[in-house]
């Protein structure tokens, strides 16, 4: 695979200057066009030790307008990063639409290092590479341009380069972990690199192998490749509808769906007043203790509430919050995205909000908006919400892998009960603000929502993040069911240790 | 002072329930009105050990709609927080307009603890309290409502309460630092508290002393006080123009100002080509080394560039960036604020962008926009930009105290040279995008800008953050002056150790 990168291209000084000057003007122009477009650009700079990745990145920063470029190295991790899933730091690095982010290694660094170091085997590496592929597909289908450069040196060239570096006083104090190890293991590294590149090279996010032996050739090629990639992307329609088939999950055909889970709910269940008061006291006390236990065990909890309007989300959340120490939780109401959030992938804002270890985050509406209101109202196209199920499952899986405890609640009421509550709000002065035209409109759309909800539950109910359907006609019953479910789940999760 | 809080108020269960229910409805209504207003609310909860601050905060979260409230405790500090000035974490906690933030102790915690623990003396405490007063004034004049509660217990009540807590299994594992110490030092603590409250009690941000012995009385009083404070604030005009006099700095009267600093610049200075190339090479190499040194010493550098349009900011920044490793710096172009930024104090976005220790941040335009374009175009009222000088000096002082190295550059060109550059841009195809109507308009406004610039330089040139005026007619001269100044400053700062 790397033979193509050992051809021995060279560029002399004169030719370099001429081409570089032209390239600079064109890159700046392309960057301006980018700014006007909706396209975020992610450049991954990876490759063998001593290939000069730092030099290349500095060169790019010189040629581009640095005001629209940000560079990220992932040397040092902060404790805030360590307390969150591994990809949190990468999501933070994603550029807003129209800007460029250059990542040293990015999400390739750790898998390569771990496989090379023997910390994981090929099977584990492949699993991580599948995650990378899904992640890059999600970004590119959302409109991003992902450009990946692999810088290669022959064994002889690398040896020569490393020798030069060790002699340079300035490089000695640069952070270069495990240099001796890499150079001594050239062959092994090449094997790992080949596996990684082969499995993550795709039409949407291709790898470009760059021969790094001659600096001028290397830098010019990178600049020209990046320029071409940007120009090609600018010419494509947005969003890239014609791109790769939607990922693994087969969405069920709603006409042949099994009986709707919602239809199976027995909404007549009630809980009488005295039993409610007893249960409320008991579960709130238990929840308070479990929350402190989770805090001490550094286990985060993510609670998601979705449901029909007037379904009781607010009331259920309040009974949870009442039981919790204010320092341990945060309630986040999800509504229309801000400018900054719209400039990113729809999941970006949720990644950003992930709490530090041991805290609880309660979502009043959530990322499921993608497959609910955005589907029904057409804010998201069909390819977009269809692929959202897998994107959401992957997001939640990463949270779970990081030790988070996830619960998702759909609060449901019958159409009659909903109408009754709507009327009650309209007729009660201090509750009138709660009922809007949008609520009535959503009610009319119920048949469409019903299909969306059924599909959502089927497609995203996983072992690590199950859906709990809550019979909401009786408020007391609903609140206790929510409290009890949260307690049971926390108890089980913390009990495991 | 605290006698008023030892009266022995009590509220019985019946009365509590009745008042609480009414209070809840009114608080929710006030909160809704807040949401529609432009008013952020900051609630500080402070007081003696065991007064039940946690209970009060939980109660407030119960009574308010938690979706518009966020609670912050400052128990644990992350390394990201430790690498930045102390107030960074408080600026991060500031709520957007229309929302409420409840802070346990907030910026009072550390000063009180340090004085009580003998880590600092009265003089140091007073200096910190003056900073707090300036900070709170800055927030309130910007429109925020700052409500400060001090919860008090008599010595006997505190002793009783602490005994109860030590017997409660749940409280044993709550993080309660130095409990024995505080209770044993009741008198000393009361003296510190009295000093703090007296010096930071102001018309704009008053302290409310709350007797905490009876829980129901305590909670009702907090709720009612907060409600009243919100209502009063909602009735005031915004911004509070009639509020306290502008802070300490006397802005110079421009008609009697000494000869303008700008007028004294010798714009005929040039640097010929060969000397330029030598100097460029030399200073860029030196800067590269100094930047790595700063990184290793964990000293951050903040470079601010302001100047007339076509003054050469971009070119100067590029010559700096060329010399730096991309991993160590970031260039931030400052333009109109985003929605999220507009929902906060104008300095909030700059606090948020502060880099981790050892990194360099280059501002292409900056917070000085407040006293330049916002002053000239009227985006900021006169009281607002007049008080900005002191706010900016305080901000920069905090950066300097934290070890950051600050430099501010004003790049200046003569009116003739500016006209020449404008014409050149208009006539060069790939530079045309650089010239806009706004540039021509700003040029017409130059007399107003001149006054603004002169006043800015006079009012904000400090020892820790000096202004450097750069004679920009000759681009080569300007770039070397910038590079040399940065190198000299870094060398001096790092040399000090």
For A294-305, write each residue's pLDDT tens digit. Answer: 999 999 999 999
**Dihedral (C-alpha) B8, B12, B16, B19: value to the nearest 10 degrees?**
-80
pLDDT at res. A304: 98
Domain limit, last residue, from A212, A243, A274: A243
> Does residue B77 share a domain with residue B202?
yes
In this structure, are A330 and A392 located in the same domain?
yes
Taking contacts as CB-CB distances below 8 angstroms, the residues of chain B near A321 are 61-62, 66
* Same-domain check for residues A169 and A296: no
| HSE-up (13 A, CA, CB side) for residue A37 | 24
Identify the domain boundary among B189, B211, B243. Answer: B243
Do residues A170 and B292 touch, judged by C-beta distance below 8 A? yes
CATH number at residue B445: 3.40.50.300
- Domain assignment present for B121: yes
Q: Is the pLDDT score of A252 beyond 60?
A: no
What pLDDT score was predicted for residue A397?
96
What average pLDDT score do residues A426-446 get? Answer: 84
Compute the mean pLDDT over every residue in chain B, rounded to the nearest whole number. Answer: 89
Is A257 a domain residue? no
Task: Summarize pLDDT for B267-299 with one digit per residue, the tens.
Answer: 989 999 999 999 999 999 999 999 999 999 999
Q: What's the mean pLDDT in A221-232?
A: 96
Residues A279 and A238 grouped into a single domain: no
How high is the pLDDT of residue B480? 97
Shortest Cα distance, chain A CAs vs residue B124, angstroms:
30
Q: Which of residues 428-447 of A touch B (CB under 8 A)?
A: 430, 433
B115 and B213: one domain? yes
If one compares B203 and A375, the residue with the highest pLDDT of the two is A375
Same domain for A187 and A267? no
Q: Which of B456, B475, B474 is nearest to B466 (CA)?
A: B456
**Quick check: bond before B190 cis, omega within 30?**
no
Of A288, A364, A359, A297, the C-alpha closest to A324 is A288
> Is pLDDT above 70 for A101?
yes
Mean pLDDT score, B118-135:
95
Q: Say which residues have a Cβ less than 8 Å from residue B235's Cβ, sequence separation at least 6.
A: none
How far off is chain B from A25, nearest CA to CA, in Å? 8
Instruction: Identify all chain A residues contacting B102, using CB atoms and an 8 Å cutoff.
Output: 326
pLDDT band at B174 (very low <50, low <70, confident <90, very high): very low
Q: Is A332 on the interface with B (CB under 8 A)?
A: yes
Question: For chain A, how big is the Rg over CA atoms in Å?
Answer: 27
Residues in chain A: 497
B327 interfacial to chain A (CB closer than 8 Å):
yes
**Residue A186 scores a pLDDT above 90:** no
B146 and B291 within one domain = no
Calculate the average pLDDT of chain A: 89
Please, are residues A51 and A153 in contact by the beta-carbon 8 Å criterion?
yes
B175 lies within 8 A of chain A by CB: no
Judgement on whether residues A182 and A289 belong to the same structural domain of the protein: no
Rounded Cα distance between B147 and B208, Å, is: 8
> Is B68 contained in some domain?
yes
- How would you classify residue A365: left for phi > 0, otherwise alpha for psi between -120 and 50, otherwise beta? left
User: For A132-145, what is the mean pLDDT?
Assistant: 94
Determine the residue of chain B that is closest to A434 in CA distance: B32
Pairing outcome for strands A360-364 and A405-412: unpaired
Residue A159: per-residue pLDDT: 84
Mean pLDDT of B7-16: 87
**Predicted pLDDT at B245:** 43
pLDDT confidence of A9, banded at 50, 70, 90? confident
Domain hosting A101: range is 2-243
Q: How confident is the model at residue B395 (pLDDT cuts 50, 70, 90)?
A: very high
Q: Do A292 and B73 touch (CB under 8 A)?
A: no
Q: How confident is the model at residue A8 (pLDDT cuts 50, 70, 90)?
A: confident
Closest CA to B479 of B319, B245, B283, B331: B319
pLDDT tens-place string over residues A30-61: 999 999 998 999 999 999 988 999 999 999 99
**Residue B67: per-residue pLDDT:** 81
Reported as a pLDDT band with limits 50, 70 and 90, residue B171 is: low
pLDDT at A171: 56
Q: For residue A7, what pLDDT is reported?
A: 74
On whether residue A30 sits in a domain, the answer given is yes
Which one-letter DSSP state was computed for residue A261?
Answer: T
| Shared-domain flag, residues A41 and A95 | yes
For B30, name the nearest residue in chain A, comparing CA atoms only.
Answer: A430
Token pair 């006609």 is found at A473
A171 reaches B (C-beta below 8 A)? no
B230 and B289 in a single domain? The answer is no
Distance (Å, whole) CA A313 – CA A306:
7
- Euclidean distance between CA atoms A446 and A437, whole angstroms: 15
Indicate if A266 and A169 belong to the same structural domain: no
Determine whether B405 is exposed, middle or buried from the number of CB atoms within 10 Å of its CB (0-12, 13-18, 19+): buried
> pTM value?
0.87
Specify the pLDDT at position A6: 67
Q: Give the DSSP letter string of B359-372.
A: -EEEEES-GGGGGT
- CA of B432: how far to CAs of A29, A255, B423, B424, B425, in Å? 11, 58, 10, 9, 5
pLDDT at A182: 53
Cα separation of B122 and B186, whole Å? 18
Q: How many helices (H) and strands (E) does chain B have?
A: 21, 10
Interchain pair B75, A327: CB under 8 A: yes
Question: CA B76: distance to chain centroid?
Answer: 21
Model pLDDT, residue A481? 97
Any A CB within 8 A of B273 CB: no
Assess if residue A254 is contained within a domain: no
Tally the domains of chain A.
2
**What are φ and ψ of residue A484, in 5° steps?**
-60, -45
DSSP character for A241? Answer: T
pLDDT in tens, B42-88: 999 999 988 999 999 999 998 998 888 999 988 778 888 999 999 99
- The token pair at B280 is 């460029």
CA A387/CA B285 separation, integer angstroms: 50
- pLDDT above 50 (res A255): no
CB contacts, 8 Å: B32 with chain A? 433
Model confidence at B326, pLDDT cuts 50, 70, 90, reads confident
User: Are residues B68 and B41 in contact, defined by beta-carbon separation less than 8 angstroms?
Assistant: no
With pLDDT > 70 as the criterion, what percentage of chain A qualifies?
A: 91
Bridge partners of residue A305, in order along the sequence: A364, A409
φ and ψ of A316, to 5 deg: -65, -45
Q: How confident is the model at residue A237 (pLDDT cuts 50, 70, 90)?
A: confident
Mean pLDDT along residues B102-107: 96
The first and second tokens of residue B379, run together, are 């985006």
Task: Identify whether B297 is part of a domain.
Answer: yes
The C-alpha of A339 sits at a distance from chain B's nearest C-alpha, in angstroms, of 6
Q: A302 Cβ partners below 8 Å, 6+ apart?
A: A360, A361, A363, A399, A404, A405, A406, A407
Predicted confidence (pLDDT) at residue B122 exceeds the cutoff of 80 = yes
- CA distances (Å), B260 to each of A283, B252, B411, in order? 72, 12, 15
Interface probe for B, chosen from A71, A83, A303, A327 (most Cβ of B below 10 Å), is: A327
Q: State pLDDT tens for residues A357-407.
A: 999 999 999 999 999 999 999 999 999 999 999 999 999 999 999 999 999
Indicate whether B255 belongs to any domain. Answer: no
Examine the domain organization and report whether A232 and A273 are in the same domain.
no
A255 within a domain of the structure (yes/no): no
Q: Under a CB-based contact definition with an 8 Å cutoff, are residues A284 and A319 in contact?
A: yes
Note the pLDDT tens digit of each residue in A312-345: 999 999 999 989 988 899 999 998 898 889 999 9
- Tell me how many residue pairs between chain A and chain B have CB atoms under 8 A apart: 106
**Which residue among A54, A78, A326 places its CB closest to the CB of B78?**
A78
Alpha carbon distance A441, A437 (integer Å): 6
């Amino acid at each position: 695979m790397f033979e193509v990168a050992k051809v021995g291209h060279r560029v002399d000084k004169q030719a370099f200057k001429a081409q570089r000057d032209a390239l600079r003007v064109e890159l700046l122009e392309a960057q301006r066009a980018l700014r006007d477009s909706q396209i975020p650009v992610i450049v991954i700079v990876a490759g063998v030790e001593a290939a000069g990745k730092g030099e290349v990145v500095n060169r790019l920063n010189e040629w581009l307008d640095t005001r629209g470029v940000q560079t990220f190295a992932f040397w040092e991790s902060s404790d805030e990063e360590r307390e969150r899933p591994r990809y949190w730091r990468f999501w933070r690095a994603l550029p807003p639409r129209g800007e460029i982010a250059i990542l040293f290694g990015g999400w390739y660094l750790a898998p390569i290092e771990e496989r090379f170091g023997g910390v994981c085997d090929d099977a584990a590496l492949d699993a991580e590479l599948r995650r990378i592929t899904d992640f890059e597909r999600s970004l590119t289908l959302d409109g991003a341009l992902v450009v990946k450069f692999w810088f290669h040196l022959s064994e002889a060239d690398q040896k020569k380069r490393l020798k030069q570096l060790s002699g340079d006083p300035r490089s000695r104090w640069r952070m270069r972990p495990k240099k001796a190890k890499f150079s001594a293991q050239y062959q092994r590294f090449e094997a790992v690199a080949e596996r990684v590149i082969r499995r993550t090279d795709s039409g949407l996010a291709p790898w470009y192998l760059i021969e790094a032996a001659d600096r001028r050739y290397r830098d010019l090629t990178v600049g020209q490749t990046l320029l071409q990639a940007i120009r090609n992307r600018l010419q494509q329609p947005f969003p890239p509808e014609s791109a790769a088939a939607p990922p693994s999950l087969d969405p069920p055909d709603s006409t042949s769906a099994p009986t709707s889970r919602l239809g199976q709910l027995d909404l007549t269940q009630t809980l009488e007043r005295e039993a409610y008061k007893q249960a409320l006291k008991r579960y709130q006390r238990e929840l308070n203790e479990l929350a402190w236990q989770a805090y001490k065990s550094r286990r985060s909890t993510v609670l998601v509430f979705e449901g029909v309007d007037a379904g009781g989300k607010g009331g259920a959340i309040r009974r949870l919050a009442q039981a919790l120490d204010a320092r341990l939780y945060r309630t986040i109401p999800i509504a229309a995205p801000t400018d900054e959030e719209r400039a990113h992938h729809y999941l970006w804002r949720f990644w950003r909000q992930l709490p530090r270890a041991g805290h609880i985050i309660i979502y009043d509406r959530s990322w499921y908006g993608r497959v609910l209101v955005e589907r029904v109202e057409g804010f998201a196209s069909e390819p977009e919400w269809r692929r959202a199920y897998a994107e959401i499952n992957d997001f939640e899986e990463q949270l779970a892998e990081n030790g988070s405890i996830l619960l998702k609640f759909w609060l449901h009421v019958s159409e009659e009960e909903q109408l009754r509550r709507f009327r009650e709000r309209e007729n009660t002065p201090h509750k009138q603000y709660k009922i809007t035209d949008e609520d009535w409109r959503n009610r009319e759309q119920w048949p469409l929502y019903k299909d969306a909800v059924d599909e959502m539950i089927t497609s995203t109910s996983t072992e690590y993040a199950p859906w709990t359907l809550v019979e909401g006609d009786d408020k007391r019953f609903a609140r206790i069911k929510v409290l009890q479910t949260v307690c049971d789940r926390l108890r089980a999760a913390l009990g495991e240790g």
